[in-house]
Structure 1
Amino acid sequence: MTGEAATLRVRRILVVEDDYLLAQVLTDFLEQADFHVVGPVGSLEEALALVENEPGSFDGAILDINLHGSNSYPVADALVARSIPFLFATGYGRDALEGRYRDHPRCEKPFDQATLLSVFGALFNNRAA
């Protein structure tokens, strides 16, 4: 296990992804890296309900931006309001993101595992600072 993965050990991550196969691959990878996965959830409504009703059930989140034609910015807003770190997992480039989230951490699809762990490591380290 890399140093970054060890730092992130036993973190609970909410996975918000509407593509079933991608959600399963992401879940498998995260579990192999010693994360506990909450979800995955594939709809805006379900993700918002988890964030609003069970924010203590996870330490961070991965958000797909496009969820069956709706964007996940309301989920991102709810996470920001609760100081829960997250990253966007998206096929969109930086310029396609809404202005307030253009510089937010993201991993472009298809992403590699090392990049994902590195971005999460930076998110959790910044949160502890």
Structure 2
Amino acid sequence: MTGFAKLLKNQKILVVEDDYLVALALSTTLEEAGASVVGPIARAQDAVMLIEEGKEHIDVAILDVDLNGEKSYAVADALALRHIRFVFATGYGVDAVDRQYRQYPRCQKPFDHQALFRALMVRGS
């Protein structure tokens, strides 16, 4: 386990990703790094409902920007309202993220695990 990965120990990370194989690989990587995965969740509406219910503690989240043609911005808004850090994930460039959300961290797919771990550790997002 790398130095970055050790910092994910005991973190509860919400994964919002519509591609089953990507979600599975990402969840496995996070769990191997010591995190507990919440989800994965494939639909924005389901993720927002989980966040609004407040029954599940979430330290940080990874949001696929495009969920089966629907943007994950409602999820980002729900997280930001509750001061929960998140990272956008996309296989496209910075232009794939609407201008008003570009101040939030973004990781490129396929994931560079070290870059992802660094983004998850950024405070104050």
TM-score range, shorter chain: over 0.9
**Residue 33 of structure 2 corresponds to residue 3 of structure 1:** no
Structure 1 runs, 4 residues or longer, greater than 6 Å off: none
Deviation per residue, 1:22-57 (Å, 9 max, x gap):
000000000000000000000011111111112652
What is the rounded CA distance, in whole Å, between the counterparts of 2:88 and 2:96 in structure 1? 12
What is the rounded CA distance, in whole Å, between the counterparts of 1:76 and 1:19 in structure 2? 18
Distance apart, 1:11 and its partner CA: 0.1
* Alignment partner, residue 37 of structure 2: 37
What is the rounded CA distance, in whole Å, between the counterparts of 1:118 and 1:56 in structure 2? 24
Structure 2 residues not aligned, in runs of 5+: none
Over aligned residue pairs, what C-alpha RMSD do you find?
Answer: 1.3
Higher helix share: 1
Change (3 A) 1:100 1:11: same
* Alignment partner, residue 67 of structure 2: 67
* Alignment partner, residue 112 of structure 2: 112
What is the rounded CA distance, in whole Å, between the counterparts of 1:33 and 1:92 in structure 2? 26
Distance apart, 1:8 and its partner CA: 2.4
What is the rounded CA distance, in whole Å, between the counterparts of 2:2 and 2:32 in structure 1? 12
* Alignment partner, residue 15 of structure 2: 15
TM-score (norm 2): 0.93
Deviation per residue, 1:75-99 (Å, 9 max, x gap):
0011110000000111121122111
* Alignment partner, residue 101 of structure 2: 101
What is the rounded CA distance, in whole Å, between the counterparts of 1:48 and 1:85 in structure 2? 14
